[in-house]
Amino acid sequence: MEAEANAGAVGCMDPKLWGPYGSEVVGPRRDVSSLWTAGLLLFALTVLTLRRVRLVDSIGHHLPSTIELFVCCCVTVMRRTPEYLPLSSSAVDLDCQSELPEDGTKTWLRARIPDTTNSLVFWSCVSVICSSILSFTLFTYGTVIAAPQHLSSSRGQALRRPNPYVNLDKVLQNVTYTFPPIVNFPPLVLQISTSDRHRTMREDSRQWHSRLGTVYPHDRHITVSHETSTILQFRNLDYAMERCVLTLTLPLKTDVLDPAISIHDPSILDVWVLNASLELSPHITGTWKHAPARRSLLATFAVSLDNLSLSGEFHCPSEEFTTLELACSSTVSACRVDFWQNLRLVPIGGIYITQSQSVFGGSG
């Protein structure tokens, strides 16, 4: 009876140390498994984040998938129930109180179940913290550095404009349709200083503020003097309308537009074709800040209040851009033309291109 009391005192059948049906618990696996499962799940989220910012892909296309598969397998394996080892059925093992003294029994039981929970919890927390710091660092690098580089590289190229008239020349090969001319106003009007050797462009506008925000009307500023030149860019419209003539006439004052005309009558203006095949855009590197160089002289206009100026006919390929510069002629000492124009103005006034039908097939 005394031996049984000693055995109960030392915990031979303590439920914290013994499993069901008299089996011995190997160790506290459930708590450790939960910690490692949480750590592996955090690592999986880290891998997915890295793939999101395209940093891991530089190592290899198949590495992220392999790591994720490995993590999933580890999580599945670690989520197990506690394992038990069956006790020996020998009389010596069953009668622990008769074979071992009280102190020896306690030592023997604790030796079979080492207390590793605290160390595992500590190192698991350290691993989770390090993984979180690494994830945050790499995510910040990817979003702040890698993403702007990707955007800048994609924005630095010309915008792709697919041909909307595929095989239309074959459809219209044997037809005799005729179409009326198209009036094409420049959507982009910029100004440069004639004394600036870098030809830095700027844009004048008549924006005004409302309760809903800033409003930008269709007004475009045409100003030419010995100090200022104006850059115009037209996008050539439609198919087989590639015979173009540049027209300049001073607009009339209406309810839609106050042109605010200021002119030295007459003024001699040179119209230059600029060496620019790309669209002038702030999203295309090298096209927005500085005006292109002059390539050839298109026409010379004598501008006056009651005069209509026309250039000679020139070729304007469909879906391409025509970029021009209006400048005062170097042959005159007095020159000033300043007004605002609006494409919605009726009657039409300002500077614009009239596009007429060319031979079908684009051979203007």
C-alpha span between 249 and 297 (Å, rounded): 20
Q: What pLDDT score does 56 carry?
A: 43
pTM score, two decimals? Answer: 0.58
Please, is 339 exposed, middle or buried when counting C-beta atoms within 10 Å of its C-beta (0-12, 13-18, 19+)?
Answer: buried
User: How would you write the pLDDT of the chain (364 residues) with one tens digit per residue?
Assistant: 454 444 444 444 444 444 444 444 444 444 555 656 666 666 666 665 555 544 444 444 444 444 544 444 454 445 444 444 455 554 444 455 454 455 544 444 444 444 555 676 677 777 778 877 877 777 776 665 555 554 444 455 666 678 888 888 888 888 788 889 999 999 999 999 999 999 999 999 998 899 989 998 999 999 999 999 999 999 999 988 999 999 999 999 998 899 999 999 999 999 999 999 889 988 888 888 999 999 999 999 999 998 999 999 999 999 899 999 999 999 999 999 999 999 999 999 999 999 999 876 444 4
Q: In 139-159, which positions are buried (b, 16+ CB within 10 angstroms) versus exposed (e)?
A: beebeeeeeeeeeeeeeeeee
Q: In the 8-state DSSP scheme, what is residue 131?
A: H
Task: Fill in the amino acid letter for 263.
Answer: I
Q: Strands, E, within 65-113: which ranges?
A: 84-86
The domain at 168-356 falls in which architecture? Sandwich (2.60)
**Residue 363, CB-side half-sphere exposure with 13 Å CA sphere:** 3
DSSP, collapsed to helix, strand or coil, labels residue 115 as coil
Residue in the block written with tokens 């037209």: 234
Long-range contacts of 47-54 (CB under 8 A, 24+ apart): 47/71, 49/135, 49/138, 49/139, 50/138, 50/139, 50/142, 52/142, 53/138, 53/139, 53/141, 53/142, 53/143, 53/146, 53/147, 54/142, 54/146, 54/150
| CA 169 vs CA 30, 188, 198, 243: distances in Å | 75, 30, 42, 17
Given this model, what pLDDT does residue 229 score? 98
- Domain(s) labelled CATH 2.60.120 in the chain stretch across 168-356
